[in-house]
Amino acid sequence: MVFSTPVFLYLFLPLTLLIYYISPKKAKNLIILLSGLLFYSWGEPIYVIVMIISTMIDYCAGLVMNKFEDNKTMRRVCLIVSVVMNLGLLGIFKYNGFIAENINAIAGQTLIDINNMYFFGIEYLPMNTLPIGISFFTFQSMSYTIDLYLGNVKVQKNPISFAAFVTLFPQIVAGPIVRYDDVARELDDRSITLDLIYDGIITFIIGLSKKVLIANSIGAVWTSIKAMEYSTMPALTAWIGILAFTFQIYFDFSGYSDMAVGLGKMMGFHFPKNFDYPYMSKSISEFWRRWHMTLGAWFRSYVYIPMGGNRKGLPRTIINLAVVWFLTGVWHGASWNFILWGSLYGVVIILEKLFLGKLLEKAPAVICHIYTMLLVILGWVLFDTADLPGAGGYIAAMFGAGGSFADSQAVYLLTCNAVMFVICIIGCTDIPKRIVEFIRKKSEVTLGYIAIPVCAAMFLLCTAYLVDSTYNPFLYFNF
C-alpha cells in the first residue's frame, strides 16, 4: 500500500491508529506488527514471505549472537549468515536480471535466459519482480545484527518487538532507513503525547502535500518530455524536462520521508531526518550530507568507517570513498546508469576532498550553488533515462544538439507550468520555514490558529487530487 491513496488515508490509517491508541501498552507492538504485515501484503501478497523470513533469521541471529557472548567465531558466523542472507535476497530479487544480462553480454550469447526461468512450469527465479521496499527493509534489518556484533545495541529478545521494528509501516516501503539503534529504546518504552501527535499530523500533511500536490503535478511535465524524441529536442524543452524531474524527485522522496516521520510521531517514534534542504548546498559533499541522509549515514557507519574511513591515509581514504559511492550507485538500482551516477558522485567528492573543496570555499556563494546544482541536475539525467545512450542524447539536447533553443511547444510548457515552477523553487529552500519561524516569534498562538484551517485545507485538497486520479469517464461512443 502507499500513503497517497484514499484507501490508506481514509480506511487503513484511521482504523489502525484507532486500534493502536485504545489497545494497552503491551499490545501496541503487536498492533504495529499486524498492521505492518497487512500494509505490506496489500502491495506484495506473496513476497511478504521474504520479509518474514528475513526478519526471523535476523532475530535468531541476534539471539544466538547473544548466547555466545564470548565466542567470537560464533558471533562472526551469525553476522555473516545475516549479512549474506540480506544481501542474497537483494541479489536474487534486485540484481539477478542485471547480472544475467551482463553475463550474457560478456559471453556474447544467451547463457541465462531471463524470460525463461521455469523448472517444470514453476518460475524458480523471479527475474522480473522487485518486492516493494526490499532495499530499505534489508538494510534496516541488517543494521540490527551489525550493531549487535559491534556491541552498539543490546539484544532484542522479544520477537514481537523485533518484528515490529522491521514491519513498522510508516518506513517500510520508502524509508527513511531507520536503524535499530534509532528506535531501540522507543520499541520497548515510548510515550504518545498530544504534542507529539500534533507535530506528527502537521509533518504528515506537509509530506502528503509535497507528494500529491507538487511532485505528481510537476512529474507529469517530465513524463511527457521524457517520452519525446531527444535528437530534435530544443534546449529549452530539455531543461524544462530535467528541472521538472529535479523537483519531482525531491518533493516525492522528501514528501514520503516527511509522511513517514509524521506517522512515526503519531505512533510515538522519533525517526531520523532524511532531507535537509539539499538543493541549497554549496558543494556535492554537502549535498550528500543533506540528501537521503539516512542512506549516507548507513554506508558511513557500516562500510566507510569499518574500512578505516579517513584514518588510514589519503590513498586508503580515496579507495574507501570510491567503494562507498560505487555501492551507493548500485543500491539505487540495477543498471549501468545508476552505477555510473553513483561513481561520478564518488569522483566529484574525492576531487572536492583533494582540492576542489578549498577552491569552492573561496568562491562566491552563487558560483558554488550553480556548480552544485548543475552537477546534481546532470546526475538526474543519468538517474532517470532508460539507458546510457538515452542519457547521452538527453544531455546533448540540453546543450543544443537538438538544433534549436526553443520552439512554440517549449514556450507553452513553460507558461502552463510557470506557477508550479515558482512554487517548487521556493518550496525546496528554507524560505517557507523562515516565514513560519517569523510568525512563531511574533506569536506562537497566532501561528497555531492559522495552522488549523491551512492544514485542513491542504488535507482536503490532497483528497481531491487523489480522488481525481481514479476519475475515468468511459466514453464508449468516443472510441
Partner 1 sequence: MEKHQKIYKLTLIILLVAITLVLPVITIIRSLNMPEKPFSETENRYLQTFPEISFDTITDKSFMTDFEKYFSDRFVLREEWINIKNNSDRLLGQKEIKGVFTEQGRMMEAWKGYDSNLVNRSLAAMQSFADKYSDKKMYFMLAPTSQEIYKDTLPKNCGAASQKDFIKLCYDSVPGMKGIDIYSSLNIAKDRYIYYRTDHHWTSLGAYLAYHAAGVDMGYTPLSIDKFNIEHASDSFRGTLYSDTLDNSITPDTIDFYIPSGGETAIRMEIQNGENTNVYDSLYFRDFLTKKDKYSAFLGFNVPKIDIISQATKGNDNGSLIIFKDSYAHSLIPFLVNNYSKITVLDMRYINVPLEQLGVNMDEYDSVLFMYNVITFSEDTNIPKLNFLAK
The catalytic residues are 332
- Nearer Cβ to partner 1 (41/102): 41
Task: State how far the Cα of 338 lies from the Cα of 103, in Å rounded to an integer.
Answer: 18
Which H, E and C letters describe the chain, residue by residue? CCCCCHHHHHHHHHHHHHHHHHCCHHHHHHHHHHHHHHHHHHHCCCCHHHHHHHHHHHHHHHHHHHHCCCCHHHHHHHHHHHHHHHHHHHHHHHHHHHHHHHHHHHHCCCCCCCCCCEECCEECCCCCCCCCCHHHHHHHHHHHHHHHHHCCCCCCCCHHHHHHHHHCHHHCCCCCCCCHHHHHHHHHCCCCCHHHHHHHHHHHHHHHHHHHHHHHHHHHHHHHHHCCCCCCCCHHHHHHHHHHHHHHHHHHHHHHHHHHHHHHHHCCCCCCCCCCCHHHCCCHHHHHHHCCHHHHHHHHHHHHCCCCCCCCCHHHHHHHHHHHHHHHHHHHCCCHHHHHHHHHHHHHHHHHHHHHHHHHHHCCHHHHHHHHHHHHHHHHHHHHCCCHHHHHHHHHHHCCCCCCCCCHHHHHHHHHHHHHHHHHHHHCCCHHHHHHHHHHHHCHHHHHHHHHHHHHHHHHHHHHHHHHCCCCCCCHHHC
In the complex, least distance from residue 265 CB atom to partner 1, rounded to whole angstroms: 12
In the complex, least distance from residue 462 CB atom to partner 1, rounded to whole angstroms: 10
- Nearer Cβ to partner 1 (49/386): 49
- Nearer Cβ to partner 1 (63/197): 197
In the complex, least distance from residue 466 CB atom to partner 1, rounded to whole angstroms: 8
In the complex, least distance from residue 302 CB atom to partner 1, rounded to whole angstroms: 34
In the complex, least distance from residue 410 CB atom to partner 1, rounded to whole angstroms: 9
- Nearer Cβ to partner 1 (205/249): 205
- Nearer Cβ to partner 1 (120/477): 477
In the complex, least distance from residue 135 CB atom to partner 1, rounded to whole angstroms: 21
In the complex, least distance from residue 243 CB atom to partner 1, rounded to whole angstroms: 16
- Nearer Cβ to partner 1 (66/463): 463
Q: Which residues bind partner 1 (CB under 8 A)?
A: 1, 5-7, 9-11, 13-14, 42-43, 45-46, 194-195, 197-198, 201-202, 217, 408-409, 411-412, 415-420, 444-445, 448-449, 451-452, 455-456, 459-461, 463-468, 470-479
